[in-house]
Amino acid sequence: MKIKSLLAACLLSMGVLLFACKPSDSKIQQAVNEKLSASPGITAEVKGGVVTLSGEVSDEAARAAAESALAGVSGVKSVSNNITVKAPEPPMPPVTINPDDILKKTLDSAFSAAGFSGITVTAMDGEVTLSGSAKKSDLRKIMQTAQESKPKKVVNKLTLK
């Protein structure tokens, strides 16, 4: 009878020791947080050894990498990956090039408003050619005004005074 009692006590002790060796959720949480520290925007919650990932990443590779990073963490039973992938941003719209007549009218009125006279503007296939004469001190402002009208190219054929 003593042997049975001793054996039962040993088995009970071993059971308690084995259960005590299992990492707690807080220890698992700490290890998981360390693994995910290089993955901004991702959070994890641990309950009963099950890790639930959440957050938002830019692509599927980042989503998969976060889950893979937890593979070696002791005590993790499973991973529930609830991370979402952001929709790709729409591409930038192309720069619109004004039609020739609008380019010419825009520049004629801009130069007139700025007090620049003696400048002739021609526009063909989105390319603006400036001819005539202008003061050297006004050249920078004239060229800047021409570029702001969004032509393909500005050709300067001005004679400087």
Q: What is the mean pLDDT of the chain?
A: 85
80, 118: one domain: no
Is 44 inside any structural domain?
Answer: yes
28, 76: one domain: yes
How many domains in the chain?
Answer: 2
Whole-angstrom distance, CA of residue 98 vs CA of residue 104: 10
Is 14 inside any structural domain?
Answer: no
Q: Which residues contact 46 (CB under 8 A, 6 or more apart)?
A: 25, 26, 28, 29, 32, 52, 76
**Per the structure block, which two tokens stand in for 129?**
């050619």
Is 39 inside any structural domain?
Answer: yes
pLDDT in tens, 113-160: 999 989 999 999 889 999 999 999 999 999 999 999 889 999 999 998
> In what order do the strands lie in the sheet containing 127-134?
119-124, 127-134, 153-160
CATH of the domain at 76: 3.30.1340.30
Question: What pLDDT score was predicted for residue 146?
Answer: 92
28, 81: one domain: yes
Question: What pLDDT score was predicted for residue 35?
Answer: 86
Question: What pLDDT score was predicted for residue 37?
Answer: 85
pLDDT in tens, 91-121: 888 776 668 888 899 999 999 999 998 999 9
Is 51 inside any structural domain?
Answer: yes
Is 148 inside any structural domain?
Answer: yes
Domain residues for 77? 23-85
Question: What pLDDT score was predicted for residue 90?
Answer: 84
Whole-angstrom distance, CA of residue 53 vs CA of residue 9: 41
Whole-angstrom distance, CA of residue 128 vs CA of residue 149: 10
